[in-house]
């Protein structure tokens, strides 16, 4: 995650209240870093930024949104599971095609 990307994430609202030091530079707390890592994990699982933003907004509202956040994560986990299954299916199809070409090569 580059500095540019972090500033961009702050701009779109993924980071809410990053402290600044005397000279106006961002001063990331441990909590900020943990949150950044969590954003990265969600990103790595293919969650689009607007959904992560939704999660971030819930998170800002406090503890009483924990349920909704959980639901969001569970929904995303299921979507990811479906996506992996589809990709596995496509991979098998592709391998079939490759094997088919290999048999052709054996014959000709």
Partner DNA sequence: TCTTGACTTAGAGTTCACTCTAACTTGTAT
Partner DNA sequence: ATACAAGTTAGAGTGAACTCTAAGTCAAGA
Q: Which is nearer to its own copies, 18 or 70 (CB)?
A: 70
Give 91's contacts (C-beta < 8 A, 6+ positions apart).
none
Torsion angle of the four alpha carbons 49, 12, 60, 75, in this order, in degrees rounded to the nearest 10: -10
Q: Contact 57/63 with Cβ under 8 angstroms?
A: no
Which residues between 1 and 60 bind DNA (CB under 7 A)?
2-5, 7-8, 11, 20-26, 43, 48-50
Which residues between 5 and 64 bind its own copies (CB under 8 A)?
41-42, 44-46
Chain residues binding DNA by CB under 7 A are: 2-5, 7-8, 11, 20-26, 43, 48-50
């Amino acid at each position: 995650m580059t500095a540019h990307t972090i500033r961009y994430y702050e701009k779109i609202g993924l980071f809410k209240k990053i402290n600044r030091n005397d000279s106006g530079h961002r001063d990331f707390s441990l909590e900020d870093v943990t949150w950044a890592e969590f954003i990265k994990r969600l990103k790595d699982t293919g969650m689009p930024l607007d959904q992560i933003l939704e999660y971030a907004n819930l998170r800002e509202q406090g503890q009483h949104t924990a349920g909704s956040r959980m639901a969001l994560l569970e929904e995303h986990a299921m979507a990811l599971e479906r996506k992996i299954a589809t990709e596995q299916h496509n991979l098998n199809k592709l391998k079939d095609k490759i094997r088919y070409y290999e048999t052709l090569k054996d014959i000709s």
